[in-house]
Amino acid sequence: MKHKNLVLLITFLIMALFVFTACGGSSEEATEDTASESTDTAVVEETAEEPVAEEPVVEEEPAAEEEVVAEEAAEEEVVEEQPAEEAPAEEAAADAITLTLWSDDGQAPAFQAMVDAALEQYGVNLVVESLIFEDMYEQYNLAAPAGEGPDIIVAPHNIIGELSTNGLAVPMDLSDIAGQYSAAAIEAWQYNGEQYGLPFNTENVGFFINTDVVSACPATWTEVMDISREISANNTDDIETNKYGFVRMQADPYHFYPIMTAFGGYVFGKTDQGYNPEDVGLDSEGALAAAEFWDAYIKEGLQPAGVDGETMMTLFESGQSAMTITGPWFTQRVIDSGINFQICPIPGEVIERGEPFMGSFGLVVNPFSENADLAVIFVKEFLGSEENAQILYNETLKVPAHLGVLATIDDPYLAAYGEAGLTAQAMPAIPEMTAVWSAFNNAVLLVSQQGDTPDNAFITAAEQIRTAIEEGQ
């Protein structure tokens, strides 16, 4: 291009000189008439006319044609140079490293909204691929070791133990930014003392109250029981017209766990390396105290028998019960019911607040990626920035793990879940957790149905869990 421009410039100058020469002959009389002008002027004119003797006389018409050609050439050059103005951006995109991110289809649009900024601000071509949630991790397990997987994958925290054990997640040091996130969310992505993912949202239950019946959030479970006694004081055998205070599912350890932690109970103890499967806590002093509380609650008839999840929600949204424990999946139903309600932190007892289980989605880097080191930095500095955490919240309406965004959200219900989650415990992602659910569920169910004493039900469950872990079940 530069050579072409030089040739055109030389051609144009020669043609301009020809035109100037052609006009010079007709200006001789004017030069003679102005002979009285200064000698310097005459010298200049003579100098300008010297090339005329060395060049043939050029007719005016061909000169005009050459001018047109020159003008057309100049126009063509302008047209050709226009794309050159865009070349830097195109070259930047071509030279940028490409990072591929796999996400389920529910969250992929949020990451897609970051693509332009990733290139402009960070020089990375971010390619977002949307996959079906149920299939994504099976595909990842096969594709990653073969070098065909993504650089980054969106994952729920409860599979991090499996990914780590199989060598499918890169450890990442978040010590410099961990304070910007919910402590429970950060903990959720730790396994065997290593951090394997950056959280971007959280999920946990909250304590619902009907504000037309219960004016303020109860501080303790003792207070919950006292309120329930007042509400149920005039109940009869007519279950359909009875009123209840707090109602929960008769089984389901997930919803019982916040009560158990309020009394000091736990599933697994903790070490610096994370959850300790050798320390099973269902027969701990706190867990047995929670079981005894629930046993007394049932004995007083403060909740109807045979309550499953649907019954629990129906009783609350109909106004028959005034308090319950549930999560974001129930919020819209309550809104649609017209009940005036509030979501509170979990009541405490021996500790200030009960600690529900927390789940989290986050970003994991593929160790088989050719750009794994860059991907870790990109996750921390770009995808994990407060600006992009805000985009994720706006697009998904999930409680953000980033505390800066959590502090600014204007949805009172999501904010309340976030507040309840500040004392949450990450649901254990260790393989031994699979041995917990069945035994724990049976213990809670036996107490709810008065099928066993609370102590015996929970001690038996703890023993069953230890045996299952020892046998590798």
**pLDDT, tens digit, for every residue of 275-295?**
999 999 999 999 999 999 999
Tell which residue, 406, 394, 457, has the closest CA to residue 110: 394
- Residue of 356 and 272 predicted with greater confidence: 356
- Look-up: residue for tokens 């909250």? 206
- Rounded mean pLDDT, 112-134: 96
pLDDT attached to residue 90? 55
- How many angstroms separate the CA atoms of 99 and 369, rounded? 9
pLDDT in tens, 213-235: 999 999 999 999 999 999 999 99
Task: Report the helix count and the strand count for the chain, using DSSP H and E.
Answer: 20, 15
pLDDT attached to residue 280? 98
Assessment of whether the complete model's pTM goes beyond 0.75:
yes
Is there a contact between 276 and 354 (Cβ–Cβ < 8 Å)?
A: no
243: phi > 0 → left, psi -120 to 50 → alpha, else beta; which?
beta
pLDDT attached to residue 96? 86
Has residue 438 got a pLDDT over 80? yes
- Torsion angle of the four alpha carbons 439, 442, 447, 451, in this order, in degrees rounded to the nearest 10: -120
Give the residues across from 321 on adjacent strands: 244
